[in-house]
Amino acid sequence: MNAAIDAAGMDVAKSSVPRTPPHPTHKLKLLLRREFWEHKGGFFWAPIWAGGISLLLTLMALIFGEVAMRREAVSGLKVNGQVMINGLDLNLITEQMSPDDVQKLADGISLSTASAMFWPLLVLGFVVFFYCLGSLYDERKDRSVLFWKSLPVSDRDTVLSKALSALVVAPTLAIAVGIACMVAFLLVLSVFVLLHHGNPFVLLWSPDNLLANAGVALAAIPVYALWALPSAGWLLLCSAWSKSKPFLWAIMIPVFAGVFISWFDLMNVFNLDSSWFWKNVVAHLLGGVFPGTWFTVMDMDGLQVKELGNHLVLLKALYSALATPQLWIGAGAGIAMIAAAVRLRRWRDDN
């Protein structure tokens, strides 16, 4: 009996010991994990399917080209005035190239390799757009917001986790899938090069090709997060505010505002044309989640077509967007709209 009393006393003592509250970063990590698992189809599988389809189309194009070349090789394939009876010989062609031609070939291969990331990044824009638009609206629609509000998680942390998922987690996963697509694309091209007596390690697998493209893509994540911030903030605000059809509200309000301003030439008050509002407000709010849309504010002066294969030049042009007031004003507006979405989530109830 004394042992039972001692055990009960120990249990009471253990329960009376104050527990350390979880660190805010640990709580945010759990919220980010929750967002990923709830939207794994959009964050993870959608870029993979897009990249897989693009690789399938590339493979079909190479097979079609190979069949067409073999048909031409029957009558003799002519390259640089020489007839190749046995088909295309890449080794013979590269031996006759000058160093400038070899550099141009490497730049062209680098650009074609980077194009393998196009479809995963295009899908990223649609995924982030509809994720932000439905993230706060859907939880009110299916009443799951009541469960999440019963947990010791603040509205600020919840909305912040959704914004970080859209601006950091989703683009990081899409770029990782894009890099994997580049590797797969090079593997497919390597088979084609080997079939035509070429050396894929010389033509394709140079460090300046794959690693530099991957580095530029990863370096673009901070620029994407800042540039997409007003668009994500606007979509989250519409998701928290609208009682129904958030898509129509998110589209109609900026478009109707643009029509109203254009109709009455209100931008003339600031000595600006109405097209400025369409470009810097409407297009930025609705299209800022699509990667690469910040090229309109990049410093492209002096960037020649022949320099597109120079990754240092591209990186400098990419980060030139950080020196523009459009990006930082938009980022400030995005933060303000996210804060408004936090306030709306606290009291918005569709009962």
pLDDT digits (tens), the chain, 351 positions: 444 445 444 444 444 444 555 566 688 899 999 999 999 999 999 999 999 999 999 899 888 877 777 776 555 555 555 444 445 566 666 666 677 776 677 677 777 788 889 999 999 999 999 999 999 998 888 887 777 777 788 889 999 999 999 999 999 999 999 999 999 998 888 888 888 777 777 777 766 677 788 888 999 999 999 999 999 999 999 999 998 899 999 999 999 999 999 998 888 888 888 889 999 999 999 999 999 899 888 766 655 544 555 667 778 888 888 989 999 999 999 999 999 999 998 776 554
The CB-side HSE value for 80 (13 A sphere, CA atoms) comes to 9
In this structure, what token pair is assigned to residue 55? 């690789």
pLDDT the model gives residue 305: 45
In this structure, what token pair is assigned to residue 87? 């088909």
Q: How many CB atoms lie within 10 A of CB 163?
A: 24
Q: Are 232 and 166 in contact (CB under 8 A)?
A: yes
Which residues make Cβ contacts (< 8 Å) with residue 238, sequence separation at least 6?
133, 246, 249, 250, 253
In this structure, what token pair is assigned to residue 272? 């600006």
Give the bridge partners for 82, in sequence order. Answer: 79
Give the bridge partners for 79, in sequence order. Answer: 82
The CB-side HSE value for 2 (13 A sphere, CA atoms) comes to 0
In this structure, what token pair is assigned to residue 13? 């003592």
Query: Inter-axis angle of helices 118-141 and 155-164, to 10 degrees?
Result: 160
Q: Rounded to whole angstroms, how far apart are CA atoms 207 and 199?
A: 15
pLDDT the model gives residue 85: 42
Give the bridge partners for 83, in sequence order. Answer: 78
The dihedral region occupied by 139, where left means phi > 0, alpha psi between -120 and 50, and beta the remainder, is: alpha
pLDDT the model gives residue 48: 96
Q: How far is CA 71 from CA 64, 90, 262, in A?
A: 11, 18, 58
Q: Are 76 and 83 in contact (CB under 8 A)?
A: yes
pLDDT the model gives residue 154: 86
